Amino acid sequence: MEKVVLAYSGGLDTSIIIPWLKENYGYEVIAMAADLGQGEELEPLREKAMKTGASKIYIEDLREEFLTEFIYPTIKAGAKYEGKYLLGTSFARPLIAKRLVEIAAQEGAVAIAHGATGKGNDQVRFELAVKALNPDLKIIAPWREWKIRSREEAIEYATERNIPVPVTKAKPYSMDRNLWHLSHEGADLEDPWNEAQDDLYMLGVSPEQAPDKPAYLELDFEQGIPVALDGKKMKPIELLTKLNELGGANGIGIISMVENRLVGMKSRGVYETPGGTILYTAHQALEELTLDRMTLHYKEQVALKYAEMVYDGVWYSPLREALDAFVQVTQRNVTGTVRIKLYKGNCTAAGAKAPYSLYNLEFVTFGEDAVYNQKDAEGFINLFGLPLKVRALMEKSSGLKK
């Protein structure tokens, strides 16, 4: 019997894919669940996968690799998709796909399968990663093959086979959770006029429910990587977990957005990214001190491209590797401490200091200084404005001036 390795989450889609693969392909199904920080969601997966027909399940702790090899490079790049989305689902998929390919080789499987729909971005992310890492593997995407056309029909399919699922027809949200974020889609959120209700949030509280007093924290970075909180050195998982707690308690990192999916349609999602929002805010504040103008401005352009590539699923590409090399050079001096203020959903940098800071008080002070001759600005303005002056003279002499 040939084998297929299924990206398994225990959610509605992947729960019904196990029997579907056996019924329609006759494959032996090996499930793989990636521990990316879902917490209690992982506990029942082993028993559930076996009861629904899997011959074996791998539960892989990928949290450390997820943080250091996928999240940290994206933070250093400053990448946000369409200016808001911190890519919590996007950069998880290539890591999961990488482990799927490795297990397929180990088990001698001929195919991998996933539960991404034919309308979403995840199908692209999974499959591009597999193509880049092992183009010989067959890819099965049941949502593009079966006759099920809605989450309601999927629930009915599960019910007929006595498969328990963590959603109901009354509240059929599609959620993706990991150490970095939690996303919510579907149901009443599909109408962008509808505001998310307070009981939706799981990683924290709404800004309205946050404390009336601000909270402060200090983050230390070394070459663009967070290493300590309030002076205490922490390992990556411990640090992000603590930031999620602090951010969530103050209503930080909640966004609602209508984004442009790669497949061509717009979708509405509500995201919770408390710790990630704090890290992005602190990292940006430190770069403002340590990067020169040309590098900072060019890096902003790189961030747009980097975010688009991560969102589109081309993580395993030469261009992403090349951009990483550029970003890594820019991070050499991004070392220092940032003081962050958290207050009712607002995350702001209250102060920053860095040993390699390019901010020089002697030059920028409004008081008396001995290092800057203000008269030098006159020649600079004359030269910088010369093209404008020449054009104005031409228009005046030729009568083109409006």
- The single residue listed with the structure tokens 């992982």 is 42
User: Among 63, 99, 151, 174, which one carries the catalytic annotation?
Assistant: 174
Q: Is 12 annotated as a binding residue?
A: yes
User: Among 63, 93, 177, 268, which one carries the catalytic annotation?
Assistant: 93
Amino acid at residue number 270 = V
Q: Is 204 annotated as a binding residue?
A: no
Q: Is 11 annotated as a binding residue?
A: yes
The answer to whether the CB of 316 falls within 8 A of the CB of 129 is yes
Q: Is 267 annotated as a binding residue?
A: no
Q: Is 9 annotated as a binding residue?
A: yes
Q: Is 90 annotated as a binding residue?
A: yes
Is 13 an active-site residue? yes
Is 212 an active-site residue? no
Q: Is 121 annotated as a binding residue?
A: yes
Q: Is 173 annotated as a binding residue?
A: no
Q: Is 7 annotated as a binding residue?
A: yes
Q: Is 259 annotated as a binding residue?
A: yes
User: Among 63, 122, 177, 268, which one carries the catalytic annotation?
Assistant: 122
Q: Is 312 annotated as a binding residue?
A: no
Alpha carbons within 13 angstroms on the beta-carbon side of residue 28 total: 11
Q: Is 183 annotated as a binding residue?
A: yes
For 157, other C-beta atoms within 10 Å of its C-beta total 19
User: Among 13, 177, 220, 320, which one carries the catalytic annotation?
Assistant: 13
Using CB atoms within 10 Å of the CB of residue 193, give its burial: 0 to 12 exposed, 13 to 18 middle, 19+ buried: exposed
Angle at the Cα of 102 (from 112 to 309), degrees rounded to 5?
Answer: 75
The neighbouring-strand residues paired with 260 are 266
Give, in order, the Cα–Cα distances in Å from 212 to each of 120, 125, 250, 257, 344. Answer: 39, 41, 9, 26, 7
- Longest CA–CA separation in the chain, Å: 87
Q: Is 68 annotated as a binding residue?
A: no
- The single residue listed with the structure tokens 């050499």 is 332
DSSP 325-363: HHHHHHTTT--EEEEEEEETTEEEEEEEE-TT----HHH
The answer to whether the CB of 229 falls within 8 A of the CB of 216 is no
Q: Is 174 annotated as a binding residue?
A: yes
Q: Return the exposure string of 324-346: e unless at least 16 CB atoms fall within 10 Å of the residue's CB, then b.
A: eeebeebbebbbbbbbbbbbbbe
Is 174 an active-site residue? yes
Amino acid at residue number 148 = I
Tokens of 257: 């957005």
Is 93 an active-site residue? yes
Give, in order, the Cα–Cα distances in Å from 365 to each of 45, 370, 375. Answer: 61, 11, 16
DSSP state of 70: I
Q: Is 58 annotated as a binding residue?
A: no
Helices and strands (DSSP H and E) totals, the chain: 14, 14
CA distance 155 to 157: 5
Residues flagged as binding site for ATP: 7-15, 34, 115
Residues flagged as binding site: 7-15, 34, 85, 90, 115, 117, 121-122, 125, 174, 183, 259, 271
Q: Which residues are catalytic?
A: 13, 93, 122, 174
Residues flagged as binding site for L-citrulline: 85, 90, 121, 125, 174, 183, 259, 271
Residues flagged as binding site for L-aspartate: 117, 121-122
